[in-house]
Amino acid sequence: MENEGYSYREQVGARAAGVPVIDWLAGRYTHSSREVWLGRIAAGEVLVDGAVADAQQRLRAGAWLVWNRPPWDEPEVPLRYELIHEDEHVVVVSKPGGLPTQPAGGYLRHTLQWLVQQRWPEAVPVHRLGRGTSGLVVFARTDPARRALAAALREGRVVKIYRTIVAGSPAWEEREIAVPIGPVPHPLLGTVHAASPAGKPARSVARVLERREGASVLEVRIHTGRPHQIRIHLAAVGHPLLGDPLFLPGGRPRPDVLPGDEGYALHAAELSWELPTPPGRLHLRAPAPA
């Protein structure tokens, strides 16, 4: 069944000022070819300040550039979640692997955000999990809760513990990983986050829970929240997530795979943070899928 379509909006910044509409769209949004963008412009789907755009029209700083994407059939995903905690400030749910957290790419209604907002329209996610990752996601129901949780996440005051299965048997029982993470070139997306000496600091602590034939079950506590941090960090120390199609040993990406491609097992198992009112610590768990 088709969704209702979606309007993607951006305000033109200094970098795009003076650039023709087609050059900006084709150069920035490389998920579609130049020919596809030309077709969208010709169909009247692209607007600048509310007027139908011309392909060669030069953008002006401060203008609003809009692509009105027509309705489309979204990929099938598991459309369910489990309620873990609800109060007047937050809702915490556990999502299945395969369900995107927020709208992006080909997903709009087939997202955890859309499902949760059918019951709590005011709820907004304060963090996200990758589509292939299962487990706990926190939604704020009020602006004060959103700001407080965003600050707690930014300052490392939210404890986040994951379970995963990696390739091989680590030579260690517990290890701190501090490989920097940042954007690196990628032929399909322009850039993706991966291990990079020029990246931002990132810290994870991995502990072996069980050793199996050719694989190991790990618990990972992350102290920062970089994109794909666990996948990158474990690949960087020679033990990529079992079945991860993107990150190779060393933490660098394959050039022919996208970050959203699935195949690995990663579960956000525990979350805890201090509550300002009433004082105390909220500690939530979601059992890992079989």
Nearest to 77 by CA among 45, 112, 36: 112
Q: What percent of the chain has pLDDT over 70?
A: 98
Distance (Å, rounded) from C-alpha 14 to C-alpha 73?
A: 35
What are the structural domains, with CATH classification, of the chain?
6-69 (3.10.290.10), 74-155 (3.30.2350.10), 156-259 (3.30.2350.10)
Secondary structure letter of residue 220 according to DSSP: E
Confidence of residue 123 (pLDDT cuts 50, 70, 90): very high
Predicted confidence at residue 253, as pLDDT, reads 92
Contact 223, 203 (CB under 8 A): yes
Strand bridging mode 134-140 / 90-95: antiparallel
End-to-end CA distance of the chain: 30
| Lowest-pLDDT choice from 130-144, 156-170, 186-200, 221-235 | 186-200
Average pLDDT over residues 228-257: 94
Predicted confidence at residue 261, as pLDDT, reads 84
Distance (Å, rounded) from C-alpha 12 to C-alpha 48?
A: 10
Residues 75-104: tens digit of each pLDDT: 999 999 999 999 999 999 999 999 999 988
Confidence of residue 276 (pLDDT cuts 50, 70, 90): low
DSSP string covering 80-131:
--EEEEE-SSEEEEEEPTT--SS-BTTBSSSSHHHHHHHH-TT-EESS---T
Residues 11-47: tens digit of each pLDDT: 999 999 999 999 999 999 888 899 999 999 999 999 9
Confidence of residue 290 (pLDDT cuts 50, 70, 90): confident
Predicted confidence at residue 277, as pLDDT, reads 54
| Lowest-pLDDT choice from 61-65, 78-82, 151-155 | 151-155
Give backbone dihedrals phi and psi of 160, rounded to 5 degrees, phi first.
-125, 120
Q: What Å distances lie between residue 102 and 20, 125, 160, 272, CA to CA?
A: 30, 8, 19, 22
Distance (Å, rounded) from C-alpha 183 to C-alpha 199?
A: 7
Average pLDDT over residues 259-265: 88
User: Where is 186: in which H helix or E strand?
Assistant: strand 181-186
User: Where is 236: in which H helix or E strand?
Assistant: helix 229-236
Contact 203, 224 (CB under 8 A): yes
- The whole-model pTM stands at 0.85
Secondary structure letter of residue 20 according to DSSP: B
Residues 175-188: tens digit of each pLDDT: 999 999 999 998 88
Average pLDDT over residues 205-234: 96
Using the predicted structure, report yes or no on whether residue 260 has a pLDDT greater than 90: no
Residues 6 or more apart from 54 whose CB is under 8 A from it? 21, 41
